[in-house]
Amino acid sequence: MQEPHVKNATEQEEREYLEEIKEQLLLSVKRVDDAVRQFSNELREKKQYIHEHQSGMDDADMVAAGQSINRMAFTGDAAVARKRKLLKLAQSPYFGRIDFTTPGQQTAPVYIGVHSYSDERQRQNLIYDWRAPISSLFYDFELGEASYPTPSGTIQGLIELKRQYKIRDGRLEFMLDSDVNIHDDVLQQELAKSSDDKMKTIVATIQRDQNAVIRNEEATVMVIQGVAGSGKTSIALHRIAFLLYRFRETIAAKNILIISPNKVFADYISNVLPELGEEHIPEMGMEELAADLLDTRFTFQTFFEQVSALLEAHNPAFIERIHFKSSFEFLSQLNQYLLHIENTYLNVTELRVGRTVVPAALIQQKFRTYHRVPLLKRFGLVANDVRAYVRDAAGRKLTGQDKATIGDGISRMFKLQNLPDLYRDFYRWLGRPELLKLDHRLHLEYADVFPLIYLRLRLEGITAYEQVKHLLVDEMQDYTPVQYAVLSRLFSCRKTILGDVSQTVNPYSASSAETIERVFPQADVVKLFRSYRSTIEITAFAQHITPNPHIIPLERHGPEPELVPCAGKNEEWETIRQRIKAFQGAGNHSLGIICKTLRQAEEAYQVLQAPGVHLLTDESTSFKEGVLITTAHLAKGLEFDAVIVPFASARNYKTEVDKGMLYIACTRAMHQLTLTYAGELTAFLSA
């Protein structure tokens, strides 16, 4: 029997096929162009028609005409989006292929790309979207038996060929057939590359464990605890792209919300979803959320300011306040306090309005009717009912004075009405009034912001963000149980929460996956130990600071991290200056000079100022290529080809907070890491 012919078996055939596909893609682009031209002509004619016939049109005609214009514009937008996708595909149509045979069916190659593409006339799928059910074969299996889930059941079969391609600017740079663990060669190449000014997509090299997270459809809350550089942020964004594809009937980009640590990070990741063909996703920081939810009378310290204060001075009382308010027990106590006030702060008495007496039992019964309404909202409702009662009993309309008497009288039955007073009272009830620093100006410490919001949510009820159907929270270790309790009440939707306890910027308020699980007991927790960002040498070096025996660095080598002792600060500056020059001469894209505090970063910027050297502060909004001077806190989540950590001395890095910063700074480096210090080296590295 003759061997069945494998389509596009040889490299030559693949090259020819690529040319064919590119031609078809360009033809499709032309068709879209023609269609767009036609749309715009029709649109112009329609507008012209309306303009000329305006006087003879009634309201209904106008509405109909407006709607048809909107429809056309919408179709026009869709055409533009389609063109963008086609042009992108023409640059790199696919990155993978599998030949999959199911019993009784002929093998057909499945080409996998960033977007799908089909032959419009033959209605045949030529390229499959990486998120299509069949594409999961590419990530989950090698040659041999394989299966993939579809909405209508699992499909079993045999993978006979698995191939990877690197196609850039429409040219096939290489192709690789796989037998065993295929991804590694291509993955190695990807990781060895120089950094970008924006986070990149990883569709061509998603690993099996990562794929499982990306394609998980069931989890209502997914917690990803992964070591530095394990691809948490990348996976979370690809997961969003997957969910947008899988549930496109019910979820759109506007239904997703990303809670991000700062604007620079938001800018850094902003490319990924558009690169994957999805729209920009709404994003907001915790502080923005807080400002939205807090009463406008309050102002508050930011998280960055809190951490800066911890870095600048050792203040045990401040630390105790933060630590206390970050515990799970604190949340339980807030909950107990809420029960306590509900049970003991309401003292219902009879109420006199003119000659009418409203019996206490009646008021009590009204309060009971509204027991599901948030506590502070009940008074208004009970007052309204009492007004109706008095009106009926007295047989007359109520005066403004009567109404006010009733409103005040009902309010007074509850011991405290006002949120700041209740929050103060909570600490008195605890027997720890010293744990609250809040004066009449109502400027809150950061640690009080979310407890207060939590109280407000529970006592007043807030409905907001109801459009959000999936919430993504990055840097989960930086948020406390109370913050999670707020998020949980505010966002009843599905969630993806990710972070790394080793990268905490404030050890007194950090949450581990286990803490978060207590708030979300239904969560699926995934732990990732493979680290992709840094060379083995850099990962091993960072292990001295915060050891994690489970970390698995990817087999990629580079120069040993360098510890450069200097005679004094001037020599440190000189060393760094030379490194900047060397960096600017080489072909790398980004060099991070990562300091402990903002003050140090500002000083470094003053001293090292040169073209292409930028300072990144908590006010910055965008990530820039070149030489970036910043703090570890702000560099979190970012990565650089090379990193320099100045002032790695025992004097500068000595506390637990400092240690966290040093770990974050070192783990930002992809290929090269240098630390300079004068005097004694920090104990975190000398041990």
Q: What residue numbers does the annotated binding site cover? A: 226-233
Query: Which H or E run contains 293?
Result: helix 286-293
d(CA 533, CA 590): 14
- Binding-site residue positions for ATP: 226-233
d(CA 420, CA 455): 10
The encoded tokens of residue 93 equal 């149509």
Contact 246, 130 (CB under 8 A): no
Q: How far is the CB of 580 from ligand ATP (least distance, A)?
A: 23
Query: How many other C-beta atoms are found inside a 10 Å radius of the C-beta of residue 569?
Result: 15
Name the closest residue to ligand ATP (Cβ): 231
- Residue placing its CB nearer to ligand ATP in the complex, 503 or 676: 503
Q: Of the candidates 470, 109, 148, 531, which has an alpha carbon nearest to the alpha carbon of residue 278? A: 470
Q: How far is the CB of 226 from ligand ATP (least distance, A)?
A: 5
- Residue placing its CB nearer to ligand ATP in the complex, 226 or 646: 226
Contact 597, 312 (CB under 8 A): yes
Please report the sign of the dihedral spanned by the C-alpha atoms of residue 478, residue 484, residue 490, residue 495.
positive
Q: How far is the CB of 504 from ligand ATP (least distance, A)?
A: 11
Which residues, 6+ apart, have CB-to-CB distance to 432 below 8 Å? 324
Q: How far is the CB of 680 from ligand ATP (least distance, A)?
A: 28
- Residue placing its CB nearer to ligand ATP in the complex, 93 or 226: 226
Coil/strand/helix, residue 366: helix
Dihedral angle of Cα 542, 545, 546, 548, to the nearest 10 degrees: 50
Question: Left if phi > 0, otherwise alpha if psi is -120 to 50, otherwise beta: which for 169?
Answer: left
- Residue placing its CB nearer to ligand ATP in the complex, 226 or 285: 226
Single-letter amino acid, residue 5 = H
The encoded tokens of residue 568 equal 């004094």
The encoded tokens of residue 349 equal 């008495």
For tokens 């004068």, name the residue. Answer: 678
- Residue placing its CB nearer to ligand ATP in the complex, 409 or 637: 637
Which residues, 6+ apart, have CB-to-CB distance to 36 below 8 Å? 76, 79, 80, 83
For tokens 């002792």, name the residue. Answer: 565
Sequence-ordered strand ranges (E) for 20-143: 96-101, 108-113, 117-119, 124-129
d(CA 6, CA 109): 9
C-alpha dist (Å) from residue 112 to 96, 165, 662: 5, 10, 41
- Residue placing its CB nearer to ligand ATP in the complex, 265 or 426: 265
Coil/strand/helix, residue 180: coil
Q: How far is the CB of 490 from ligand ATP (least distance, A)?
A: 24
Q: How far is the CB of 499 from ligand ATP (least distance, A)?
A: 7
Q: How far is the CB of 478 from ligand ATP (least distance, A)?
A: 12
- Residue placing its CB nearer to ligand ATP in the complex, 544 or 654: 544
The encoded tokens of residue 517 equal 């699980």
Q: How far is the CB of 229 from ligand ATP (least distance, A)?
A: 4
Under the rule (CB under 6 A), what is the footprint of ligand ATP?
187, 190-191, 200, 202, 205-207, 210, 226, 228-234, 500, 503, 532-533, 637, 639, 667
Burial class (CB in 10 A: 0-12, 13-18, 19+), 37: exposed
- Residue placing its CB nearer to ligand ATP in the complex, 200 or 527: 200
Query: How many other C-beta atoms are found inside a 10 Å radius of the C-beta of residue 297?
Result: 9
Contact 260, 285 (CB under 8 A): yes
For tokens 């799928």, name the residue. Answer: 125
- Residue placing its CB nearer to ligand ATP in the complex, 532 or 684: 532
- Residue placing its CB nearer to ligand ATP in the complex, 241 or 566: 241
- Residue placing its CB nearer to ligand ATP in the complex, 436 or 501: 501
Q: How far is the CB of 673 from ligand ATP (least distance, A)?
A: 14
Contact 622, 264 (CB under 8 A): yes
- Residue placing its CB nearer to ligand ATP in the complex, 229 or 420: 229
- Residue placing its CB nearer to ligand ATP in the complex, 191 or 341: 191
Q: How far is the CB of 253 from ligand ATP (least distance, A)?
A: 20
| CA 502 from centroid of its chain's CA atoms | 18
Query: How many other C-beta atoms are found inside a 10 Å radius of the C-beta of residue 33?
Result: 12
552-553/530-531 β-pairing: parallel
Single-letter amino acid, residue 77 = D
d(CA 506, CA 511): 10
- Residue placing its CB nearer to ligand ATP in the complex, 209 or 425: 209
d(CA 78, CA 574): 55
Query: How many other C-beta atoms are found inside a 10 Å radius of the C-beta of residue 143?
Result: 17
d(CA 107, CA 9): 13
User: How many Cα atoms occupy the beta-carbon half-sphere of 398 within 13 Å?
Assistant: 23
Cα angle 477, 478, 483; round to 5:
100
- Residue placing its CB nearer to ligand ATP in the complex, 109 or 499: 499
d(CA 604, CA 627): 12
